[in-house]
């Protein structure tokens, strides 16, 4: 007879936890970034994946494959810092670099670190239901450069 009250208590706790998770996801202004994104052509594939926001943090990863070879990868983390965001990137095993938010709209964000060699800016813009533009830009050896990654949303690997 003690099983029924325990099950009821567990159901209430699980319900509250799922409601809190949903609220945490909705509160994050960059929740539109979550999911799997890819830019694929005949020469290479660039894939980026962002976990749902939890604990004021989004965690992401990317890889670039050319032919059968991994040519680059990156681990990323976007953190809420008060009313602003910062992105920490760890490209291909190098030391982490932090870029701070300089602009934010309902469908775009730009991060900047003018002290970093290259890039000095990282940006994301939602371009519709299933597309996203990511870019890096800055100056290298006095030459301004900008690389754009025109992503399409894809089914995450391992998903049913």
Give the domains, in start order, of the chain with CATH numbers. 30-154 (2.40.128.20)
Q: Is the pLDDT of residue 24 over 60?
A: no
pLDDT at 157: 81
Non-local (6+) Cβ contacts of 35 within 8 A are 49, 50, 153, 156
What confidence tens digit (pLDDT) does each residue in 111-154 have? 999 999 999 999 999 999 899 999 999 998 889 999 999 999 99
CA distance 130 to 37: 9
The verdict on pTM exceeding 0.75 is yes
Buried b (16+ CB within 10 A) or exposed e, 90-128: eeeeeeebebebeeeeeebbbbbbeeeeebbbbbbebee
CA distance 118 to 138: 6
pLDDT at 159: 65
Look over the chain and give the mean of its residue pLDDT values, rounded to a whole number. Answer: 86
């Amino acid at each position: 007879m003690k099983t029924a009250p325990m099950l009821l208590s567990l159901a209430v706790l699980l319900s509250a936890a799922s409601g809190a998770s949903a609220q945490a996801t909705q509160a994050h202004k960059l929740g539109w970034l979550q999911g799997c994104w890819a830019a694929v052509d005949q020469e290479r594939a660039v894939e980026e994946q962002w976990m749902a926001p939890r604990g004021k943090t989004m965690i992401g990863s990317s890889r670039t494959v050319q032919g059968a070879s991994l040519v680059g990868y990156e681990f990323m983390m976007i953190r809420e810092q008060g009313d602003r965001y910062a992105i920490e990137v760890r490209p291909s095993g190098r030391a982490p670099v932090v870029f701070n938010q300089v602009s934010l709209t309902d469908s775009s964000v730009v991060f900047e670190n003018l002290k970093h060699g290259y890039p000095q800016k990282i940006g994301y813009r939602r371009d519709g239901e299933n597309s996203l533009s990511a870019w890096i830009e800055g100056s290298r050896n006095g030459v301004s450069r900008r690389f754009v990654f025109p992503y399409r949303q894809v089914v995450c690997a391992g998903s049913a």
